[in-house]
Structure 1
């Protein structure tokens, strides 16, 4: 235990050494600013149609073909510039956060599509922080996303034939080409794990997508936790067993992610931070209709254990933001029978009919935690305006918690 604590302490010293050099250019929103600001949070967007769902009677939508499902319904892509403008025009928003999945689970994984999204995102005037989702890398090996699928000319339709490791490398090379810098016209300096990794674990430097920064008394940390099953329960390319490459990917990333969470909480303690926001893609409590359901999400337990233990020890508000399950949800899955609000099928909000707490092993009781799932994957496009007020001390509710308050915006 002493060795682990020493390693964490050394890492925090390293992170603090990096921080001054990469401080945000906007001094009115530095780590200990008293100023409130808002973040536009969205995910699972832009989505295309799923196999068999592309309307053939609409001329602007390419129907499914004999070579496989349509590589993309353009309607959300076409709506994205107006969506970005709406966020740009929101005077309260100072930062944008995308919580993963830049296309649907039935779209091909191609360099050209990634480039389309990246080009669209250059239109954001504010800094954009992005954490990858399963659809753009772990699920590329599935046939419905183009894995092992060839076009009529005999060429594989996916980048690297859908190999997840290769597709994650592609995402990194395109969306994280400048470690420690966000996307968007006004870039923000952040600490990437590629810069602030624990030297005892040099392979952690690969996780350029994991970042953290401090702003207005809050520490923000992103972690690459893909939806579905943490890339563990779905064997690549439909094989009967897992390949060594898959086993290694899961083990190495899970360990790196947990060390990054360790570092984030340690830094928050060292810097006297008032609250923490964790952003990742997976809904780690979502059964998703999969059977056996509990097995499918079982490999998220190490992350939940880490977050629960760290949050309880921290003793201050910790807010988790995720996408993946598509319907807006506000709850605390670390407390049994906690109040819960969800987006119903008609888009209205209603009390939840299930308790996320029951979907993972029990034993947690962490009251200073809250989770919000952001809306995604279908029209209308929507973002969550998350306001951070360092002076705020909100009683936990469906739309507020500690220094945080939020509202759904449907521009």
Structure 2
């Protein structure tokens, strides 16, 4: 059995918790290496194809929807072993980061499928850090993901009939069985919120998926912020009102996330980190085809305000990595009318035609911030190769910022 943390490390918060948690482990939380480290970042994968995207030369493939096979398009999951092999073969990559959505929004939420992804991920030779997306838990209650859908034998097709809280518990039981341990190979020690939480808020210990670590002069932190459903605000099962369980879920998780973000920036300041990387799933500025007046992304405001204020106070580069909206994007949504590049087609980029800044309440002017939306859901698979050079300080561009440079890789 792998070594567990002491009860002291589990019951104290902030720097007082992180320090004993580090000391109680045989692998360092803080890697003060002055060497460059490179990550392979991806998300929204593996997916099936959508209507209008399915290959015309494969007539047996139907769109990934409730009316088609589930998933309707097996190409991505069939291509995943080769994709993992390609990342393993990248001589620069030392860490893999998945920013959520391990299946599409039209695929059923089952224990068997989650196990399939877990088994695939054991093929990574490097450590894998994963933060969950909406499709694997908050949206499982939607009919297109199997909520309230029964098979021919009268059994619900989803795990726990798609109950989001139960499906998040399932994700934790499969992917986060050992708090503070990464997935994949070459185990890397990180600190989980389950190990370092405020004793005044013991419920924060549930958020084992929220982790942080320091490497090459940068603090990395993950947050469970689901996209697509306005921070889990879409009424469960399409009802006209929210249940008490849903209201509690969003409120409790949001508060825990904010406290974890507070602790991360406190740690970065105290340890003299040169930059911070925040990884989460939601594209908090993406209207997803809705009218701004619909306020479909309004519930992300607490996170944006916290990130903006912490980033301004930190005064050094802060990079946000998210998935959710599927097309690569490089911008700073905390400044009005800044340069922006978006994926125009597979492997190509163009200037943005919209300004994310306009989609959330205005008033921010945070210069030391940059955001990347990683490519996802479309075939072929690709990853973002993110390099961190603790000696560098690049001017902000669509492919560089502070100690960071990145490029898109289609194996």
Measured against the shorter chain, the TM-score band is over 0.9
- How far, CA to CA, are the matches of 1:372 and 1:69 in structure 2? 32
TM-score, normalised via structure 1 length: 0.93
Which residue of the partner structure matches residue 289 of structure 1? 289
The range that moved more, 148-157 or 29-38, is 29-38
Which residue of the partner structure matches residue 16 of structure 2? 13
- How far, CA to CA, are the matches of 2:294 and 2:331 in structure 1? 20
Which residue of the partner structure matches residue 6 of structure 2? none
Matches within 5 A, 1:157-306: 157-291=157-291, 294-306=294-306
SS at match of 1:247: helix
Is 1:351 matched with 2:355?
A: no
Quote how far apart the aligned CAs of 1:294 are.
4.9
- How far, CA to CA, are the matches of 1:391 and 1:55 in structure 2? 46
SS at match of 2:330: strand
Quote how far apart the aligned CAs of 1:58 are.
3.8
SS at match of 2:263: helix
- How far, CA to CA, are the matches of 1:260 and 1:223 in structure 2? 8
Shift in CA distance, 123/60, structure 1 to aligned 2, threshold 3 Å: farther
CA deviation vs aligned residue, 1:235-255 (integer Å, no higher than 9, x gap): 000000111110000000000
SS at match of 1:116: helix
Quote how far apart the aligned CAs of 1:346 are.
5.1
Instruction: Work out whether residues 139 and 229 of structure 2, in 8 Å CA contact, stay in contact via their aligned partners in 1.
Output: no
Matches within 5 A, 1:101-140: 101-140=101-140
Which residue of the partner structure matches residue 8 of structure 2? none
TM-score, normalised via structure 2 length: 0.93
- How far, CA to CA, are the matches of 2:392 and 2:63 in structure 1? 50
Which residue of the partner structure matches residue 406 of structure 1? 406
CA deviation vs aligned residue, 1:199-221 (integer Å, no higher than 9, x gap): 11100000000000001110000
Is 1:36 matched with 2:36?
A: yes
Which residue of the partner structure matches residue 341 of structure 1? 341
Instruction: Work out whether residues 31 and 218 of structure 1, in 8 Å CA contact, stay in contact via their aligned partners in 2.
Output: no
- How far, CA to CA, are the matches of 1:64 and 1:45 in structure 2? 13
Quote how far apart the aligned CAs of 1:163 are.
0.5
Q: What is the CA RMSD across the aligned residues, in angstroms?
A: 2.0
- 5+ unaligned residues in a row in structure 1: which ranges? 1-8
Aligned length in residues: 399
- 5+ unaligned residues in a row in structure 2: which ranges? 1-11
Instruction: Work out whether residues 343 and 349 of structure 1, in 8 Å CA contact, stay in contact via their aligned partners in 2.
Output: yes
Quote how far apart the aligned CAs of 1:22 are.
3.6
Quote how far apart the aligned CAs of 1:304 are.
0.1
Quote how far apart the aligned CAs of 1:17 are.
2.0
Which residue of the partner structure matches residue 145 of structure 2? 145
- How far, CA to CA, are the matches of 2:79 and 2:60 in structure 1? 13
Quote how far apart the aligned CAs of 1:56 are.
9.7
Quote how far apart the aligned CAs of 1:188 are.
0.6
Quote how far apart the aligned CAs of 1:86 are.
0.5
